Amino acid sequence: MPMPSKTKKYAAWAALAFVLAIQFIRPERTNPPVDPAATFEAVAKPDPQLAAIVRRACRDCHSHDTKWPWYSLIAPVSWLVADDVEQGRAHLNFSRWNLLSPEMSKLRMKEACREVRSKGMPPWQYRLMHPEARIGDEDVATFCDAVDRMP
């Protein structure tokens, strides 16, 4: 039996009200300052090809240099994006590489290689919106080989 048009109207208004209401729950979108001497490039002095892959595929969630897209202003997507960035920075932060010993620097990159090789990173929903972040098989090999050669 088709929905009566009044119910349809209420449902539509309720949905709209809901969507508007959740816009007021704004997650943090901050880019803490970057000390150039503290970055992955400055501290680990990585292979340039590795650094290039990191820059194009990892930076948004794993550094303080996040480029926040227009849809990160709109809930509920904004919550997902902010959460990804928060978690990303917590697990691996290319802007705070000065916190790591040389041993840990290599171990973090070894884990990154594991994630990239298993296609777990970058996450599918990020790759959907950022095609330039895709890491193909050749790039995976370049990435992991460069990590192996880290001191």
Partner 1 sequence: MRKHTRTLFVFAVLALCAGSGCARKEPAPQPAAAVDPAALELFGILPEVMESKTNPVTEEKVALGRMLYYEKRLSKSQQISCNSCHMLDNYGVDGQPTSEGHMGKLGDRNSPTVYNAAGHFVQFWDGRAESVEEQAKGPVTNPVEMAMPAETVVIAVLKSMPEYVDAFKKAFPEESEPVTFDNMAKAIGAFERKLVTPSRWDRFLQGDQAALTDEEKAGFNEYISAGCQTCHAGTYVGGNLFQKLGLVKPWPDTSDTGRERVTKSGADRMVFKVPSLRNIDKTAPYYHNGKVATLEEAVSTMAEYQLGRVLTNKQVRAIVAWLRSLTGEIPAAYIQEPRLPKSTAKTPKPDVSE
Cα–Cα distance, 68 to 142 (Å, whole number):
28
Cα–Cα distance, 75 to 96 (Å, whole number):
29
Q: Which is nearer to partner 1, 32 or 69 (CB)?
A: 32
Does residue 107 touch partner 1 according to CB under 8 A? yes
Site for partner 1 in 54-93 (CB under 8 A): 76-77, 79-80, 83-84, 86-87, 90-92
Asked if 104 and 77 count as a contact pair (C-beta separation under 8 A), the reply is no
Choices 42-50, 54-62, 101-109, 131-139 (CB under 8 A): range interacting with partner 1: 101-109
Cα–Cα distance, 22 to 116 (Å, whole number):
34
Does residue 43 touch partner 1 according to CB under 8 A? no
Cα–Cα distance, 72 to 96 (Å, whole number):
24
Least Å from the CB of residue 65 to partner 1: 15
Does residue 111 touch partner 1 according to CB under 8 A? yes
Least Å from the CB of residue 131 to partner 1: 18
Closest CA to 84 of 53, 127, 50, 136: 127
Cα–Cα distance, 127 to 101 (Å, whole number):
31
Binding site for partner 1 (CB under 8 A): 15, 19, 22, 32-33, 35, 38, 76-77, 79-80, 83-84, 86-87, 90-92, 96, 99-104, 107, 110-111, 114, 120, 123, 125
